[in-house]
A and B are shown apart, each in its own frame.
Chain A
Amino acid sequence: MLLRHTSKEVKVREGLTINPAKTCQPIGAMYAALGIHGCLPHSHGSQGCCSYHRSTLTRHYKEPVMAATSSFTEGASVFGGQANLLAAIDTIFAVYDPDIIAVHSTCLSETIGDDLQQITKKASDDGKIPEGKYVIYASTPSFVGSHVTGYSNMVAGIATQFAESTGVKKSQYNIIAGWMEPSDMREIKRLAKVMGINIVLFPDTSDVLDAPQTGKHVFYPKGGTTVEELKSSGDSLASLALGSISAEPAAIALEKKCKVPFETLDIPIGLTATDRFIMGISKVAGVTVPDEITADRGRLVDVMCDMEQYLHGKRVALFGDPDQILPLTEFLLDLGMKPVHIVSGTPGQKFEKQMRQLLDERSPETNFKSGLQADMFLLHQWMKNEPVDLLIGNTYGKYMARDEDIPFIRFGFPILDRIGHSYFPNIGYSGSLRLLEKILNAIMDRQDRDALEEKFELVM
């Protein structure tokens, strides 16, 4: 037993978090910044945070993850980090020559009270930012929210600091990506194309964190939303924000700054969330849904019909990030499965409300907790009390799955021990079909493994 000290008895904790189902803001900000073309993320703090964030993203993507740090030492921690950041900006432009430096803060610089707006302004006033280059920032204190909050803050920062309105609208729509994989972002672009609308998708980590092997390391890979596109987002006809925690704040910022109206939708994971996404595009852009997409949808529903017997009533425990597990839970319910335990370390009132509402309507007996102490330790204890047939969550779930001997599907962030998430989408109808295939394989492999010899089936 790997988690041998996890007991069945649930006790309320107030100080100790055990096996967190979240991590800290800056890693989200770093990920978001990588979705801007020619951008070097910069961590304003001591170098440990940057090293950890780069390492985790690298393990998740098996790709280069470039980012710089202000390398605070004790002096900077006492006297403030302005000198370090100014020096860093000089070095970065001289050595790594990005178009944009996207600075995010860390616990340390936030505790000291460094003001990124003021420091980046000083850098600009002092002529440290070369012509045509940018230094943007987002405040990302990790003692608030989670990695999702950090992503959201950086995306909002990108929107406010780049978007311009020229007064002339462009025939295009913004799609603000909630936290999703490069594969998912690629799929969003494909769907938009099939729907026949022009979009500015941001951030966009496709062709950055799934870059091809060419024998050359391209420091700023081909992908990422360009500055030009970002600027033009202020002239778009409307924005669709995918995810109320990770994307909506950017849409709100755009509305405030450039009066771009917006609608917030769920990340299109599963049948109904994808339906809403497609309807959303159709409605906002006044386009008809092409047959190709209807057929895509039909294929997903077809499999749902054909395989319902393997899914119905299966009990699931899941953990992850709000904008992803909300539509995932809905999908599981649509599949006739029973989400029994749900945990997310990320706090959020709106998320709480939405999830409660969904569960109250369709699965009132589900255990659900988010925010402080909503951790994997609690989830595991719940699982010990009310066992499940399937566990869904990031790589850390494998310890629980092994101890409890239950099938496990990797979903969310981080996935440190498998590939696929960056290449094959989980969103849209075809992405959801892939997710469904994974669920079925996990359940049916288990049925095969556990079947008595006389009950072992050839055809299933």
Chain B
Amino acid sequence: MEANRIIPDPAQVREELIQKYPAKVAKKRAKSIVINDPEIIPEVQANVRTVPGIITQRGCSYAGCKGVVLGPTRDIVNIVHGPIGCSFYAWLTRRNQTKPESLMDENYIPYCFSTDMQEENIVFGGEKKLKIAIQEAYDLFHPKSIAIFSTCPVGLIGDDVHAAAREMKEKFGDCNVFGFSCEGYRGVSQSAGHHIANNGVFKHMVGRDNTPSEGKFKLNLLGEYNIGGDAFEIERIFEKVGITLVASFSGNSTVRAIENSHTADLNVILCHRSINYMGDMMETKYGIPWMKVNFVGAESTAKSLRKIGEYFGDEKLKARIEAVIAEEAPKVKAVIEEILPRTKGKTAMLFVGGSRAHHYQDLFAELGMTTVAAGYEFAHRDDYEGREVLPKIKVDADSKNIEELKVVADPELYNPRKTEAELEALKEKGLEINGYEGMMKQMTKKSLVVDDLSHYESEKLIEIYKPDIFCAGIKEKYVVQKMGIPLKQLHSYDYGGPYTGFEGAVNFYKDIDRMVNNPVWKLIKAPWETAGNGKGGELAASYVTQ
């Protein structure tokens, strides 16, 4: 076990992080770097523009819309309208696993579709080419759905992807065609794209299939993208406890499931940032409450299952949930007990995404590791401070551009799943309905919270804190590892996983143990570098076995 570390003074760290910036930049960045106090949560500046020239982790709205939310559904033909690159880079790089039921089922995930716009399309407009492309996709594959994604130039040249989609949908009759205005310059990060995707999926997919769904305890899983098979593990647990998963948004999902999702009785939300809009909209239109859960971490999984049991309020279900937890727990316990002595007391930093930097703190806690600093890449204040800050968030110019759908209760389909009184009773029991308390309440006092961490700041943080592990994404992976610190990718999981549920917890414990205790970190220096190169000395036999 590591000796107790001296945690650096966060106020001083903050000064150091912004010292090198030009005055204006420093002033701006300072508001995004805060010292946590779980009792009185300080305000974090989030969801604001990245300063030009700063090396940022962030991507664009298109990445959030196509890459994150729409990409994982296997039977939509996703045509990217734009020059070739945007579609190429989002091709299979997000590890959204999917499992069609049979060889006959549609699965377009391994494919990349693009209109590959050329100069003449930019000059004279690309709508004609887009319509040809839609027609060709239809003729080749006869898919149930075709989605169109606009990339940066499309919005500027004025192509109307929505009109093209409508026209083709009408023409085909048996294929749902819809578009997304998710040009990369909208908003300030992927986050804008999540919102645009939520709107589109809600408008064009949810509610199209009113077939009553089977099952007694029916829910949708929101904000779970089946990276590394995460959704498979959650599905396994649901099946074991007798919960029916109507639709997942959107890991391992299908068009039909999403179209039928309004027949479920509860929405559970994993990644609050990318999908909370959907939860709210479905509540308003159909009367389905949503609840924040977390299946990352064995204890969090158990807790989340119990919350679901409580929501449905069925004793048999609750008993089944307890039985499953009791059955799964020993395997997890056996592994953590063996590993804990090697990980306890170590430190972690998490800078990633819009929810993972929060969720994975649970797993590190189970490993006995302290999160000394954390932050999101594209989250909003509510993901840090909790949804109670929502009324206080000022909508700036960048967010104003993103449409807020006006949703009303559906005259036929609105059916509140719980009465006001029932909801009140659940609240009394500690169930937070339609709420999320954010990351900071869970973090220790004086830990550091940094939004949209820059490359420069990450190097500084590592220098100062020397954490045992750093969690971020592919762009940061090898930079941090060059510094002799292992980096765990929390977007792609370094091609491992799943990390959800009970089996996922075990996988994560083992992976982190392997990473922080790997012998390679001690082999970085050549022997002559430590022994005084060229100093000479006597020859002495030495062998591997010595």
Chain A residues with CB under 8 Å of chain B are 1-5, 7, 11, 13-20, 22-27, 42, 45-49, 51-56, 58-59, 62-77, 84-85, 87-92, 94-96, 106-108, 110-112, 141-144, 146-147, 211, 213-218, 345, 372-373, 377, 396, 399, 416
21 contacts between A and B (CB under 8 A): A11-B139, A15-B131, A15-B134, A16-B136, A20-B88, A20-B114, A47-B184, A51-B60, A59-B93, A69-B52, A73-B186, A73-B398, A74-B401, A89-B53, A91-B51, A96-B55, A107-B122, A108-B152, A108-B184, A217-B479, A217-B480
- Stretch from B102-110, B325-333, B356-364 that touches the partner: B102-110
Cα distance, A211 to B398, chains bound together (Å): 40
CB contacts (< 8 Å) of B137 on chain A: these are: 16
CB contacts (< 8 Å) of A146 on chain B: these are: 84
Cα distance, A88 to B114, chains bound together (Å): 31
> Are the CB atoms of A216 and B482 closer together than 8 Å?
yes
CB contacts (< 8 Å) of B57 on chain A: these are: 51
Which of A17, A111, A218 gathers most chain B CB within 10 Å? A17
CB contacts (< 8 Å) of B122 on chain A: these are: 107, 111, 143
With A106-B152, A111-B152 in contact, is A91–B54 under 8 Å at CB?
A: yes
> Are the CB atoms of B108 and A5 closer together than 8 Å?
yes
With A18-B111, A23-B85, A107-B152 in contact, is A214–B482 under 8 Å at CB?
A: yes
Q: How many residues of B contact A (CB 8 A)?
A: 93
CB contacts (< 8 Å) of B245 on chain A: these are: none
Q: What 4 A-B pairs come out closest when comparing CB atoms?
A: A48-B60, A24-B85, A15-B132, A91-B53
> Are the CB atoms of A74 and B136 closer together than 8 Å?
no
CB contacts (< 8 Å) of A71 on chain B: these are: 49-54, 56
Which of B86, B477, B482 gathers most chain A CB within 10 Å? B482
Cα distance, A412 to B95, chains bound together (Å): 22
With A46-B60, A73-B187 in contact, is A95–B110 under 8 Å at CB?
A: no
Cα distance, A85 to B51, chains bound together (Å): 11
CB contacts (< 8 Å) of A91 on chain B: these are: 21-22, 25, 51-54
> Are the CB atoms of B106 and A5 closer together than 8 Å?
yes
Cα distance, A107 to B60, chains bound together (Å): 14
Which of B110, B129, B473 gathers most chain A CB within 10 Å? B110
With A18-B112, A111-B153, A217-B482 in contact, is A47–B475 under 8 Å at CB?
A: no
Cβ-based interface call for B478 (8 A): yes
With A74-B398, A91-B25 in contact, is A49–B140 under 8 Å at CB?
A: no
Q: A5-B106, A24-B85 are in contact. List 18 more A-B contacts (CB 8 A).
A: A5-B107, A15-B129, A15-B133, A18-B111, A20-B84, A23-B88, A52-B89, A70-B53, A77-B156, A87-B52, A90-B53, A95-B20, A95-B53, A106-B152, A107-B85, A112-B156, A142-B85, A345-B84
> Are the CB atoms of B133 and A27 closer together than 8 Å?
no
Residues 27-49 of B at the A interface (beta carbon under 8 Å): 49
Cα distance, A329 to B165, chains bound together (Å): 42
Cα distance, A437 to B384, chains bound together (Å): 54
Distance to closest chain A CB from B84 (angstroms): 5
Interface string of B485-512 (1 = CB under 8 A from A): 0000000000000000000000000000
B56: contacting residue among A45, A69, A111, CB under 8 A: A69
Cβ-based interface call for B277 (8 A): no
> Are the CB atoms of B62 and A48 closer together than 8 Å?
yes
CB contacts (< 8 Å) of A15 on chain B: these are: 115, 129-136
With A24-B88, A55-B474, A88-B52 in contact, is A96–B456 under 8 Å at CB?
A: yes
Q: Using CB atoms, name the residue of chain A closest to B151.
A: A107
Distance to closest chain A CB from B531 (angstroms): 16
Distance to closest chain B CB from A303 (angstroms): 35
With A67-B55, A85-B52, A143-B153 in contact, is A17–B84 under 8 Å at CB?
A: yes
